[in-house]
Structures are given as structure tokens and as C-alpha cells.
Amino acid sequence: MEIIIDNMVVNYEKSGQGQPVILMHGWGQNLEMMYSIVNNLSNSYLVYNIDLPGFGYSDEPSYPYTVSDYVEFLKNFIEINKIINPIIIGHSFGCRIALKYAAFNENVDRMILTGAAGLKSKKNILYYFRIYLFKFFRNFKNFPFIKHYVNEYIENSGSEDYRNSSPMMKEVLKNAINEDAQPYLNNIKVPVLLIFGSEDDATPIWMGEVLNKEIKQSKLIIYDGASHYAYLERNDDFSRDTNNFLKEGIIND
């Protein structure tokens, strides 16, 4: 299915019936990454599975979106589809949007966030050294004879997500990672289930612990040995914990 939001064609799928659930995938992914969750929930819930702007079959935004722009996109998607009191389930980048949406909008029932991004990473000396090198070499990108090597170094710098992104989405990614969700986490009033993998090196456990501490009604579950894709690697556990949470709700640990 397709709708137009902010002059973008947005691709999504809709299945099942019951209370609405909105799924939002991670960076560089698409709605297919959420199919295991769709299969678990579509017998009991009305599931909206979205290709976020810039991913899958959805158009890229016409300007570098911020997290707030993605929140406005989500708000428009909910209004156009007349969705009332949705459950929001996100992975990684999708959680950035979910966190800010829930902090400033009341039309949400509860959330399940796995491998949740949104907090600024702790930076060590190596990080600052790499930034220094990047800025140093950037000064020589137009020098004859060496500009090819300098530009190659610049192109290969940054994370894999950054290198694999289009020019527009590189700017979007920079906007996203430069925003810290922590200041508005205590605005979130709805129950939130947090699921992290113990071996997640993209969104480490400490991020889950901070989220769990700052969000008033939250519970943190850690899957031992799982990575950033804990919800896929431990699909049976994730389905069980998701279903229990949606049926029973939670209070603080």
C-alpha cells in the first residue's frame, strides 16, 4: 500500500484486525525485517508495517530529516489512517522516532523497543583521534596527485551505516545521531518494554539501562548472547515476551 506524506510516496503493509500496532524498522533496513513480528501479532492485532522515509520502497525526504521530522511523519501517518491508541514496536533507529513521539504525543498505548537507539554514545580517545584525522585529511581533498587517496579515505570513514547511505540519508543519519533522547525520556508516560542483546555493540546494554531508569513505566529484558538483532535471533522468546507484555502490561521493575 502507498500513501503520500510530505510529498513522499510512503510504502507500508497492513494486516490483521484488532488494536492497531505500528512497526518501525532500523537504519538501512525495511519493513521485511519486521515480518517475524507481523507473523506473531497479525492474528490478534491490526498491524501497520512501514518502510520509513528513505528506506525500502518509500521515497527519500526532500531535505535532511531530523528525528522531529520523522515524528511529524509518524503523526501524519497515524492521522491519515485514523489510528487510535496504537501500540508502537521499534527496532534501533525506529526507536528514536518512537521515543520522541511518545514523549510529546498522547495517542499511544504502549511500546516495545528492541536494540533501541536514541542515546549519544560514550566517546573514547580513539574516537576523537579519528575525528581529528578526518578533519585533517579533509583539508587536502582538492590537492593534485593526492586528492584521490584523500577522498578515498574520507569516503571510507564513518560507520558502515554512513558509508552505505545516499548523500541525503548521510545527512539524515548525522542529524539523528547528534540528538540525545535522554532529556525527554521522563516525559514518556506509557508502559515500555525494552529488549536488548547482551552482545549488542551498536546499542550496548548501558543504553537499555539508562532508558529503563529514565522511563517511568519500563522493564528491561536482556537476551544473553544475542546481538543488535536479538528480536530475530531469539524470535520465540521475543514473541513470548511481547505477547505477555501486551496482555498483562507492566509496572516499574
Q: What's the pLDDT tens digit per position in 175-184?
A: 999 999 999 9
What pLDDT sits at residue 163?
A: 84
DSSP 49: E
Q: Which residues pair with 91 in a beta bridge?
A: 114
C-alpha cell at 151: 577522498
Neighbours of 212 (CB within 10 A): 18
- Count the neighbouring beta carbons within 10 Å of the beta carbon of residue 6: 15
Residue 124: count of CB within 10 angstroms of its CB: 8
**Residue 171: C-alpha distances to residues 85, 119, 179 (Å):** 32, 18, 13
Which ranges of 105-159 would DSSP assign to H, the alpha helix?
125-138, 147-156
**pLDDT at residue 249, rounded to an integer:** 66
Statement: residue 185 has pLDDT above 60: yes
Tell me the whole-structure pTM to 2 decimals: 0.86
Rg (the chain; Cα; Å):
19
State pLDDT tens for residues 2-55: 999 999 999 999 999 999 999 999 999 999 999 999 999 999 999 999 999 999
Residue 158's pLDDT band (cuts 50, 70, 90): low
CA–CA distance, 78 with 42 (Å, rounded to integer): 18
- Whether the CB-CB separation of 247 and 189 falls below 8 Å is answered with no
Q: What pLDDT digit, counting tens, does each position of 70-126 carry?
A: 999 999 999 999 999 999 999 999 999 999 999 999 999 999 999 999 999 865 444
- Residue 162 pLDDT: 83
Residue of 252, 193, 196 lying closest to 223 (CA atoms): 196
- Reported as a pLDDT band with limits 50, 70 and 90, residue 131 is very low
* CA distance between the termini of the chain: 40
State the CB neighbour count (10 A cutoff) for residue 125: 7
pLDDT digits (tens, 9 = 90+) for 136-157: 545 555 555 544 544 554 455 4
The Cα–Cα gap between 219 and 191 comes to 8
Query: Using CA atoms, how far apart are residues 200 and 157, in angstroms rounded to an integer?
Result: 22
142 exposed, middle or buried (CB, 10 Å; 0-12, 13-18, 19+)? exposed
Domains in the chain with CATH codes: 2-120+179-248 (3.40.50.1820), 125-169 (no CATH)
All three cell numbers of 34: 519486521
Closest CA to 100 of 220, 9, 185, 207: 185
Tens-digit pLDDT profile for residues 206-236:
999 999 999 999 999 999 999 999 999 999 9
